[in-house]
Chains A and B, each alone.
Chain A
Amino acid sequence: MSAANATGRGASPLKRFGLPALLIALALLFPFLDDGLGLGLMFPVIVIAVYVMLALGLNIVIGFAGLLDLGFVAFYALGAYVVGWFASGHFNQVSISFLSTARSISGGSPAGIHISFWILLIVAGAFTALCGIIIGAPTLRLRGDYLAIVTLGFGEIIPRFFQNGDNLGGFNLTNGTIGIKSIDSPGISILPDSLSTWQRFGTLDLNPWYYTILLLVLITVYVNIRLRDSRLGRAWVSVREDETAAAAMGINPVTTKLWAYALGAMFGGVAGAFYGAFIKSIFPTSFSFNISILVLCMVILGGMGNIYGVILGAIALQGINFYLLPQINDWVHAIGESLGSPLLAGADIPKYNFFIFGIILVLMMLLRPEGIIPNRQRQEELHDDSDAGGDALGGTVRA
């Protein structure tokens, strides 16, 4: 953060506020652009935004606090299931509604628990933060590789739990592999009828969804920046750099790391809650290990610890997934057909996405390990060759 501070203060106001303002304006206008040009990209862009939020959450854990978390998907899943449980007909034994958009066909109160999406966003965030603390408290005493292995296990256990949680002593908590379906749509019911698409978010007009996730992403970015420059942000860097020295300064390494874990989990959970409501049905298989790795790749590719870098990483990787690979697929098919090659004409390029990500990651590690838009501190850490001897010499020469 020192570096960020220094550059932030030194930079001209245009650079400091101009670029973010331009990007926000562009993001606000995107639905009109999409509509006007007939791009039809609203759906993928919303999913990309969910991943931006996930990557920013993981960036707190990995980028700021330097904890390798290979099970981040667990919090994403927990957030989604919070919405699944409390905004659907899943628990049909009861009938509880609170500020929900859900209506039953008969006009009575619908079966299941139906709580307002907006409340559930907060509940999901709080719940996953709590889970982060519960998981983190015993494991964050571990360092480095050991922590990575424990989080890996945790990321595997949670989807398994959802898969097998349909009969917990006779109680159906998660509905197993069938998952939870017909999750309520969010909505702001107090709005006038002229804004009917906002009263209850539909599947035809995606604008309300888009602006909701955009707001969530902007809040996440803002909180990320504020945390980075705070007292806690300094504690994170110091623990990341040298845990023993940090403890000797009175910084409690365990609680410092726990905060990173809990805050990262919170953003993962909120992203999951949004995704659950957006996609309307959640299955244990939607939260596989691949997602942990994909989000990790976004953080590393973009530049650990750099907020803009992480956003770019998320957009780049999901952009490849949603847009570029299907495009390439079409091209390959077209080439295959014109050449009369059944191998190319029937190729399924998107199937190889993780193969392609793997290559990208290896190339990045070889060519630019600090990421596309690096964090200055991380860059220093990775290019450490000018260290040791030279400095000691410099010291004596200078004195």
Chain B
Amino acid sequence: MPEENGGSVANVLEARGITKAFGGLLAVNAVDFDIPERAIVSLIGPNGAGKTTFFNMVSGLYTPTRGRFVLTGRDITKMKPHQRAQMGLGRTFQNIRLFGTMSAVDNVLAGMHVRLKGSILGAVLKMPGVRREEKEAREKAHALLDFVGLRGRETFAKNLPYGDQRRLEIARALASDPKLLLLDEPTAGMNPQETARLTELIGRLRQERGLSVLLIEHEMRVVMSISDRVTVLDHGEKISEGTPTEVRQDERVIEAYLGTARTG
């Protein structure tokens, strides 16, 4: 690996021997996977390769049949999705899952839920601590919306334009102060300009906020331009791993994507 010098960089996420069987079908088979700190790592592969299954196991929607996940040094394999989020895992969804009838700001505030402490009694009695916290949370939410470049703040999330909904989902995920952000096809359905703007945003996540990002993406231009490392899955197995350049030249990857016949 030309990249880092061995173990000097800590890993945010370590996956070891992750296997998921749906009945007799091995959707993901014995995959090892690391995400170093402040890295953008992409997971690619043809349709049905097991990317989303792997992703859902990281965020806790599925439990792996075998294997374990370690997030910032703690084993999270048995944790529920909300516990993982509290541990510092944020995610977006392939088919946008915003809280449609909440405003953009409230969506971000809902994402901030675990970082706020206001008790029920405090809210009912309008205690000054809770009011201050709410005010600060609101300011922070607006700052996050500025960061992702969203203007419509008080409209219902479902009435926002498509591209803005994608950005809002990222802002909402950022609200819980994650260490690792999982983005599931963030540019799906976007036009080239929107895609370019979103790619730039993902880059800024690392530079300005020090996040690690795990990206599932079909748009190869996006993957190749911002990833530090790319992992390729096919039929549930890891067939290649390395820098974008390395992966692009790997014969097994070309084979998986284009088939065996190589015209020279």
Residues of A at the B interface (CB closer than 8 Å) are 1-3, 5-6, 222-223, 226-227, 229-232, 234-235, 237-238, 241-242, 244-253, 259, 263, 376-378, 380-381, 387, 391-392, 394-396, 398-399
Chain A residues touching B, majority SS: helix
User: Is A244 a contact of B97 with CB atoms below 8 Å?
Assistant: yes
CB distance from A164 to the nearest CB of B (A): 36
A-B pairs with CB below 8 Å: how many? 150
Known A-B contacts A247-B82, A249-B111, A249-B113; the reply to A237 vs B102 at CB < 8 A is yes
CA distance A237 to B106 in the complex (A): 10
Q: Are B93 and A245 in contact (CB under 8 A)?
A: yes
Going nearest first, the 7 A-B pairs with the smallest beta carbon separation are A395-B162, A250-B85, A230-B123, A250-B114, A395-B161, A377-B101, A2-B103
Known: A234-B102, A234-B106, A249-B173. A391 touches B124 (CB 8 A): no
| Contact count band on B | 35 or more
CB pair B116 A231 closer than 8 Å: yes
Per the bound structure, the CA–CA distance linking A78 and B114 in Å amounts to: 34
**Contact A238-B110, Cβ < 8 Å, known A248-B59, A391-B158:** yes
Q: Which of A232, A380, A396 contacts B158 (CB 8 A)?
A: A380
Interchain CB contact under 8 A, A396 and B191:
yes
CA–CA, A387 and B164, complex, Å: 15
Whether A230 pairs with B114 at a CB distance below 8 angstroms is no
Contact of B101 with A227 in the complex, beta carbons under 8 Å: no
Q: Give the docked Cα–Cα distance between A232 and B97 (Å).
A: 20
**A379: nearest chain-B partner, CB-CB:** B101
Q: How far is the CB of A2 from chain B (nearest CB, A)?
A: 4
- A399 and B82 contact, Cβ closer than 8 Å, known pairs A6-B103, A237-B110, A238-B99: no
- Using A241-B100, A396-B191 as known contacts, say yes or no to A6 and B154 having CB atoms under 8 A apart: yes
Q: Is the Cβ of A230 less than 8 Å from the Cβ of B118? A: yes
Across-interface contacts of B175 in A (CB, < 8 A): 249
Which of B86, B103, B118, B163 has a CB less than 8 Å from the CB of A231?
A: B118
* Cα–Cα distance between A108 and B47 once the two chains are bound (Å): 84
Q: How far is B230's CA from A313's CA once the two chains are assembled, in angstroms?
A: 59
Among A1, A235, A387, A399, point to the contact of B194 (Cβ < 8 A).
Answer: A399
Assembly CA distance A1 to B107 (angstroms): 11
- Closest residue of chain A to B111 (Cβ to Cβ) is A249
A250 lies within 8 A of B82 (CB)? yes
Closest to B96 in A: A245
Beta-carbon contact of B124 and A394 below 8 Å: no
**CA of A230 to CA of B124 in the docked complex: distance in angstroms?**
8
Complex partner residue of B106 from A1, A248, A395, CB under 8 angstroms:
A1
